[in-house]
Amino acid sequence: MPPKPLLDPSQLDLGKVIVPKEEIYNWNPHRHEFQMLDGLVYVDYSTGLLAGYRDVRADEFWVRGHIPGRPIMPGVLMIETAAQLVSYYAMTATKRHDFLAFSGVDNVRFRGQVTPGQRLLMVGQMLEIRPRRCVGQTQAFVDGSMVYEGLITGMWV
């Protein structure tokens, strides 16, 4: 049974982008195929909660080979999307522009598949931001159903 959602997806206005892709990547250094977030729809620095999305496209690099005839988004790309969400929050909350490296993932569960044409909604809550590391709880949803959960750790380098 999935855990309680950090944010109720039905309560988010997915049509109201508050942080567009270009602004996300003023903070996150990822480029080209590894820009995993298309926009943020919710950020609350008082609670540590945020939500962003990724529109999964049929022309992405992994579609042809994972799985031919039935493409399923690799779980590792869901984890990377979660890491970029956590990175954006930690960097903007602290105003640090040094690199926040992905250093760990724990308690990951994949609860459903994600396919081209779907919108992956990634939500997170920062649990800790320290001078050397940060930790965020993350969950992802497609059409209101939880498809992923995991704890992301980053280390400033």
Cβ burial of 119 (10 Å; 0-12, 13-18, 19+) is middle
Other CB atoms within a 10 A radius of the CB of residue 87 amount to 24
Q: Residue 66 catalytic?
A: yes
Of 30, 32, 66, 97, the active-site residue reads 66
Q: Is 134 helix (H, G, I), strand (E, B) or coil?
A: strand
Phi-psi region of 78 (alpha: psi -120 to 50; beta: other; left: phi over 0): alpha
Burial class (CB in 10 A: 0-12, 13-18, 19+), 93: middle
Q: How far apart are CA 142 and CA 112, in angstroms?
A: 9
Residues forming the active site: 66
